[in-house]
Copies of this chain bind each other. A is one copy, B any other.
């Protein structure tokens, strides 16, 4: 038995003050998911290893938390694999299930499994925790919350527009108006590779230019040259060296590439649409270097970053994927989705002091406790207040009154209700305003609910 117990490294306890802020963000995300016509689903934390493994690459597989088989099943441990240092064979022999690594593979599994119960196109949102066996370090957690909205079963560009509007709506309501929604398209990345002569090593090329924000143009050029000897350095550095490349300019430069026409078309429609939208609060910007998890996205790619604080990383991201459900044998089902980075949004809002002040007000009213005898007479009023949506706490003990008031102050309570012996005899209560200290006597049956409602 541990003398000083603690939660495992990389995990977090959420105390009420932190949780109320997280819930503030999640409530706004959830509300907007619903307003935009997404339906909520939930999937289990546990998935079969056969569902999870092989979907995230070797590095991802390594980070899946595996569940040890129960009871006698662990007798089947493959000892030979262990002595041969085949660790994954060994773990496969004693584990059949794991904790979900993200919400995307479970979504693909869900859609494939329940295809006959769902109405397509299927717009779903999901807000649940995921787990990764990352080495715990600053800002990396082994358990965190993902907030995803996806549309499965349509390739209509209106979904990209709706998802960008959804981003803008959520972030505006959270108080952000200085964000950049970066946008790109897989086929523009392919067009770029063609244009500079890097198509033979497409994926590696894209990974390198994706890193430009971190390593800078010079290093990008250096790495690309190492990858492909006869790449056109001048074309590449001219293009990427420009502060902003317009879609129109690309249209001209890339006109010989067939691949990239679809991307140009899509992005033009999206940018046209948003440009006439007067209610759009943030900025949308084409970024030819944006790739984000390149093997995954097949069309539009979106990322949300903060203009004022680039260091925090992206606050969200998403894109279109055409082949996701096909890994579970559901073909021809295009999907597009976005995700909100709860932890980063939280950090950014905390830093910019964006949370409303009243989130910390735990209760509206505290009832000072003079004992059960008095509380019995007060209880109909307490019932009434709660029925009218007031958060009422009765101080748990019949303690000294100063202790009770100090508890009220710590919880930032607005009002205290008191009924001691004097008031009890006269059928009265005292209502004390905890902010300014004023207090008034009221006949108990005449307490005006409006008084609390206004406050």
A324 contacts the other chain (Cβ, under 8 Å)? no
Which single residue of chain B is at the shortest CB-CB distance from A273? B376
Contact A41 B16 (CB under 8 A): yes
Contact B110 A87 (CB under 8 A): no
A311 contacts the other chain (Cβ, under 8 Å)? no
Q: Which of A88-96, A198-206, A256-264 contacts B (4 or more CB under 8 A)?
A: A88-96
Copies of this chain per assembly: 2
Chain B residues, Cβ within 8 Å of A95:
68
Quick one: which of A45-95 are within 8 Å of B by CB?
Answer: 45-48, 50-51, 54, 62-63, 65-68, 70-72, 74-75, 77, 79, 82, 85, 87, 90-91, 94-95
Contact A65 B74 (CB under 8 A): no
Chain B residues, Cβ within 8 Å of A90:
74, 77
Q: Which of A297-305, A312-320, A393-401 contacts B (4 or more CB under 8 A)?
A: A393-401
Number of residues of chain A lying within 8 A (CB) of chain B: 117
Smallest beta-carbon distance A199→chain B, Å: 29
Known: A67-B68, A68-B66, A273-B376. A19 touches B37 (CB 8 A): no
A5 contacts the other chain (Cβ, under 8 Å)? yes
A452 contacts the other chain (Cβ, under 8 Å)? no
Smallest beta-carbon distance A142→chain B, Å: 7
A358 contacts the other chain (Cβ, under 8 Å)? no
How many Å lie between the Cα of A6 and that of B113 in the bound state?
Answer: 6
Contact A42 B68 (CB under 8 A): no
A223 contacts the other chain (Cβ, under 8 Å)? no
A383 contacts the other chain (Cβ, under 8 Å)? yes
Chain B residues, Cβ within 8 Å of A269:
372
Which single residue of chain B is at the shortest CB-CB distance from A325? B5
How many Å lie between the Cα of A121 and that of B410 in the bound state?
Answer: 12
Contact A396 B123 (CB under 8 A): yes
Which single residue of chain B is at the shortest CB-CB distance from A371? B158
Which single residue of chain B is at the shortest CB-CB distance from A173? B387
Which single residue of chain B is at the shortest CB-CB distance from A119? B410
Chain B residues, Cβ within 8 Å of A159:
396
Q: Which of A7-15, A227-235, A340-348, A422-430 contacts B (4 or more CB under 8 A)?
A: A7-15
Contact B386 A47 (CB under 8 A): no
Known: A1-B327, A6-B113, A407-B119. A392 touches B37 (CB 8 A): yes
Contact A48 B156 (CB under 8 A): no
Contact B329 A4 (CB under 8 A): yes
Chain B residues, Cβ within 8 Å of A117:
15
Quick one: which of A107-127 are within 8 Å of B by CB?
Answer: 109-110, 112-114, 117-119, 121, 123-124
Smallest beta-carbon distance A167→chain B, Å: 14
Contact B397 A3 (CB under 8 A): no
Smallest beta-carbon distance A162→chain B, Å: 6
Chain B residues, Cβ within 8 Å of A279:
380, 383
The 10 A-B residue pairs with the shortest CB-CB distance, nearest first, are A37-B393, A11-B44, A16-B39, A121-B396, A70-B133, A154-B396, A14-B42, A66-B68, A35-B386, A5-B109
Binding site for B on A (CB under 8 A): 1-8, 11-16, 19-20, 23, 32, 34-37, 39-48, 50-51, 54, 62-63, 65-68, 70-72, 74-75, 77, 79, 82, 85, 87, 90-91, 94-97, 99, 109-110, 112-114, 117-119, 121, 123-124, 129, 131, 133, 142-143, 151, 153-154, 156-159, 161-162, 165, 169, 269, 273, 276-279, 327-329, 362-363, 366, 369, 372, 375-376, 379-380, 383, 386, 389-394, 396-398, 407, 410-411
A-B contact pairs, 8 of them (CB 8 A): A6-B109, A8-B48, A13-B113, A19-B40, A35-B389, A35-B392, A62-B71, A156-B398
